[in-house]
Amino acid sequence: DTTQTAPVVMEGEGSQKRMMFMLPAEYDSMDKIPKPTNPKVHIAEVPSEVGVVHRYNGSMEAGRNRDQARALAGQLIEDGVPDVTEEHVLENFQFWGYNPPFTLPYFRRNEVWLKLDGDQVTYLQEKFPSGGLVGGSRGGGSALGAAGIAGLVVGVAAIGLVMRRRGSSSPSYSPLR
């Protein structure tokens, strides 16, 4: 028996919706992972990826997540990140939820995550060269910097750029501490 871990990752909508779980570090190889008893559950090792994250509290409803993904897209477009469109972000973002469903919405930690390609990462590192992505076009208490989350099994390992939002309606960049 494995206890549920965070974040829980959801992507897609309707019949294409998929839920993924991160496993603790103790499951560092596929042989150590308990075999699912439900045939609809699949185990997969997902390689590390680099992306941006927009952090927010509140409900984890699909419409709210899309609104937050739209805010992330707007910031990336405003910052001139190559090949980012609102449509691309809305079709490719993942929702990451960190709290049980019974947590009061105000206290929930939610994120929308978007994978970046190498050119986009290079662009952001060159635009914000001070070791983290400092300043951003909207400033404030947000963070975009290096972070690592390891995950095997129906999970995503994200190493690289992470954007967080605190007390602002829009994402922006500053060093992750």
pLDDT at 176 over 50: no
Question: What distance in Å separates the CA atoms of residue 4 and residue 154, rounded to the nearest whole number?
Answer: 12
What integer pLDDT is reported at residue 166 of this predicted model? 33
- What are the structure tokens assigned to 119, written together? 């050119």
Question: What distance in Å separates the CA atoms of residue 147 and residue 35, rounded to the nearest whole number?
Answer: 29
Given a contact cutoff of 8 angstroms between Cβ atoms, the answer to whether 36 and 43 are in contact is yes
pTM for this model (two decimals):
0.70
Looking at every residue in the chain, the average pLDDT score rounds to 76
- What are the structure tokens assigned to 172, written together? 């922006």
pLDDT at 104 over 90: yes
Amino acid at the residue 53: V
Given a contact cutoff of 8 angstroms between Cβ atoms, the answer to whether 144 and 52 are in contact is yes
pLDDT, tens digit, 9 for 90 and up, residues 64-98: 999 999 999 999 999 999 999 999 999 999 999 99
pLDDT, tens digit, 9 for 90 and up, residues 4-17: 678 999 998 888 88
Upper half-sphere CA count for residue 140 (Cβ side, 13 Å): 13
- What are the structure tokens assigned to 170, written together? 């829009």
